[in-house]
Structure 1
Amino acid sequence: MPLPLEKVFEFFSKAENLEAITPPELKFKILTPRPIVLTTGALIDYRLTLSGVPFGWRTRITHWDPPYAFVDEQLKGPYAVWHHTHTFADEGGKTRMDDEVLYKLPLWPLGEVAYPFVKGKVERIFRYRRVKVREMLGV
């Protein structure tokens, strides 16, 4: 991203931006009262719809290292496991952003059957997010 590290991290450190960068069909809504201060241990509650089914989702920030990284983990939600590591690196005035998502579907072995479908959905969400972030940051 052709922006300084601090500016990009600041965007991601505002939980309310998550609503704006999530595809509209997910009907994603943050339930936690604002302002939300992200730090290690912060809890954020959401509501979203996946394939027409509404879910509650609770996330805990388990690692907070501004402006280089943070990790959110699902405590309650549609996945058996969701561990999302966000990393940011300065590359000569530009910023490299990486997302690593480790997830496990519930209801084994049925979850394994649904994995290719879910993987495609997760990848689509991140493609959408990439476009929206660039748009919102004006790049």
Structure 2
Amino acid sequence: MLKFSDHSGIHSIKAFQKLPISKEEAWQFLSDPRNLNKIVPPEMDFRITSETEGDEIFPGQIITYTVKPVPGFRSNWVTEITQVDPERYFIDEQRHGPYAMWHHEHWVKEIPGGTAMFDHVSYKLPLGILGNWLEPLVARKRLRLIFEYRFQKLEEIFGPFKDPS
């Protein structure tokens, strides 16, 4: 499930997916930056360029990447993990990259039959009015592709969720 909204130039996307695994398994997979390559579309040519210390993220961790946000354009991206509540949520924020602003909340919650995963991304494009005009044509379209690909890959990795009721 995806939902987009806009408020004064700040755009957001909310995504929700149920996984047939424990909250601990979901957290272990989602909080390991090395797994990002498994759930990002190959055409984005996503590459982590920094060392990832240990198996799990931590507050203050800086992660650097290169990515093709749109075909033919490669960008460096730097994010900081600003908050972590283990097995509950973590937040990453862009420090440098293709967006004027990026704030991404990743939540996991145990539910009957597995785990619910919820994302809330707030973002702003550069270029002012032109960025706002391009948002539905470029950023929204790309984010929809990314989240739909991620849904599919997580289902391939962990299997489909079966409602226990």
Same fold (TM over 0.5): yes
Out of 33, 41, 59, the residue aligned to residue 40 of structure 1 is 59
1:44-123 mapped onto 2 (5 Å cutoff): 44-51=63-70, 52-117=72-137, 118-123=139-144
CA distance, structure 1, for counterparts of residue 87 and residue 52 of structure 2: 22
**CA separation in 1, counterparts of 2:128 and 2:90?**
29
1:138–1:93: structure 2 CA closer, same or farther, 3 Å change rule?
Answer: closer
Amino acid at match of 2:31: S
What residue ranges of structure 2 are gaps of 5+ in the alignment? Answer: 1-18, 161-165
Q: 1:5·1:94 contact (CA, 8 Å) conserved in 2?
A: yes
User: How far apart in 2 are the matches of 1:32 and 1:69?
Assistant: 22
Percent of residue pairs identical: 39
**Larger relative contact order (CA 8 Å, sep ≥ 6):** 2
Distance 1:127 1:135 in 2: 12
Alignment correspondent of 1:128: 149
Q: Name whichever of 117-126 and 35-44 sits farther off.
A: 35-44
Q: 1:93: Cα distance to partner?
A: 4.5
Moved over 3 A (4+): 34-37
- Contact 1:80 1:105 (C-alpha < 8 Å) held by counterparts: yes
Larger fraction in strand: 2
The range that moved more, 15-24 or 36-45, is 36-45
| Deviating more after overlay: 83-92 vs 127-136 | 127-136
Shift of 1:131: 1.0
CA deviation digits over 1:3-45, x for unaligned, max 9? 1100011000110100111001000000012445410111000
Uncovered stretches (5+) of structure 1, i.e. residues with no partner: none
Give the alignment's TM-score, normalised by structure 1.
0.95
The CA distance in 1 between the partners of 2:131 and 2:157, in whole Å, is 35
